Amino acid sequence: MSLFSVQSQLYSTFNFLCPKCHEGKLFEHKILAFKGSFEMNKSCSNCQESFMPEPGFYYGAMLVSYILSSFFCLSFIYFCKLVLGFSTNQSFVLLLIICSVGFIWVFRIARSIWINVHIKYQGD
Ligand SMILES: [Zn+2]
């Protein structure tokens, strides 16, 4: 089984698919729909697995989001300053622009990682 094969948890994580069957979609709309970008499906359209196993399930996804964002922001600032030679202000303006566009993806990937950690693949 390769790292990104259909049976892999990484496959469903990065494609925002149901962690149990890798068929149904976690989110209702496309990422840049600007309407309902944060809305998740209640359950899988293929296997009926609930995407909200218990109230407050996604509180842990906030920790994942925080870790991802912190790592990205620090790495990005260091990259801009040390490799590209930007000033601190230029680096933060560029970071702000990238974060304002990418926060929906971070929200989604954090939830996808969280549910994939807790629900395992049970396909063929
Ligand atoms: Zn499913």
Cα of 115 vs centre of ligand 1, distance in Å, is 12
- Single pTM value for the model: 0.87
pLDDT for 123 equals: 75
3-state secondary structure the chain: CCCCCCCCHHHHHHHCECCCCCCCECECCCCCCCCCCCCECCECCCCCCECCCCCCCCHHHHHHHHHHHHHHHHHHHHHHHHHCCCCHHHHHHHHHHHHHHHHHHHHHHHHHHHHHHHCCCCCC
pLDDT digits (tens, 9 = 90+) for 7-23: 888 999 999 999 999 99
Residues that place a CB less than 5 A from ion ligand 1: 18, 20-21, 24, 44, 46-47, 49
Cα of 62 vs centre of ligand 1, distance in Å, is 23
In this structure, of 2-6, 20-24, 115-119, the range with the lowest mean pLDDT score is: 2-6
pLDDT digits (tens, 9 = 90+) for 59-115: 999 999 999 999 999 999 999 999 999 999 999 999 999 999 899 999 999 999 999
pLDDT for 32 equals: 78
